[in-house]
Amino acid sequence: MKLYPVYPASASRATTLVFAFLLSLLALMPPMAQAKPPVLEKPNGFEYPTQVLTGSTQEFEISYLQESGDKPRSLLLVIETPQGGTVKAEPNKLPTGDLATGPLIATWYYSPRDAGNYKFHFETVSVTGEAARYPLTASEDEQFTAENLITKYIILFVGVIVSMGFLPFLVYIGTRSLNKRSDPGTAARVAIIVGALAAYALYIYLMGWVYSAILNVIVGVVLAAVLTVLFTRRR
């Protein structure tokens, strides 16, 4: 017959007390701190492009901040192209510095090839595996429109022809039909002025953001000078 050892009741009670004591210590211990996710924000004073030309190089920046000092393991600029494709790019200038003194700034350079509307956002994962996004949701993604300069000049060329040819003709015919006693020369000048103003308005609409304000003003001054000559010249 096999014999089994018999332990005294006091030993069993002691084991139970020790086990209960350890459980109490575990309950009193504070929970392990979980790493907080990083924060991505647009740098102060930096503005993302809204209208660009195809082929032009655009700059994008994002600031990375993590209160525990965890640096980024990955940082991506994600761009949705007009054709439905997705471009994921790492920074051209990697963020450097100390998170204890401020956010890290990452920089990208991107040149849109096709005309159309682009959407973009930023993604990051810290060294502890915490992820963040800017903007927070896809519905808030930043956008910019890329336009082809050659296409804009073609539209401007056709518009100027219509403004300086067909439109003055309509204005002249309308003016003469409303007042048949009006001077034909004056009616012609008014028609040309209307056409020139329409052409300049089209130029501002298409090229106003492409060229500097000074150049746009110079074009307006030249146009005003030509109109002044038309008004003041002798008949």
What is the crossing angle of helices 213-232 and 184-207, to 10°? Answer: 180
pLDDT the model gives residue 193: 86
Cα R_g (the chain), whole angstroms? 36
CATH, range 39-147:
2.60.40.10
Say if residue 110's pLDDT is above 70: yes
Burial 203-214 (b: 16+ CB within 10 A, else e): beebbeeeeeee
Q: Looking up tokens 């991107």, which residue turns up? A: 110
Highest mean pLDDT range out of 25-39, 82-96, 169-183?
A: 82-96
Say if residue 17's pLDDT is above 70: no
Is residue 80 helix, strand or coil? Answer: strand
> 52: which strand partners?
146
Q: Where are the domains of the chain?
A: 39-147, 149-232
Say if residue 1's pLDDT is above 60: no
> 93: which strand partners?
107
The reply to whether omega before 135 is within 30° of 0 (cis) is yes
Burial 32-50 (b: 16+ CB within 10 A, else e): eeeeebbebebeeeeeebe
Assign 76 a pLDDT band (cuts: 50, 70, 90). very high
pLDDT the model gives residue 229: 81
What is the crossing angle of helices 149-161 and 184-207, to 10°? Answer: 170
Say if residue 59's pLDDT is above 70: yes
Q: Which residue has the higher pLDDT, 92 or 12?
A: 92
Question: What's the pTM value of the predicted model, to 2 decimals?
Answer: 0.74
pLDDT the model gives residue 25: 58
Alpha-carbon dihedral sign for residues 140, 66, 74, 125: negative
Q: Which residue has the higher pLDDT, 66 or 24?
A: 66
8 Å CB contact between 78 and 120: yes
Quick one: average pLDDT of 165-172? Answer: 84
**CB within 8 Å of 41: residues ≥ 6 apart:** 62, 63, 65, 103, 134
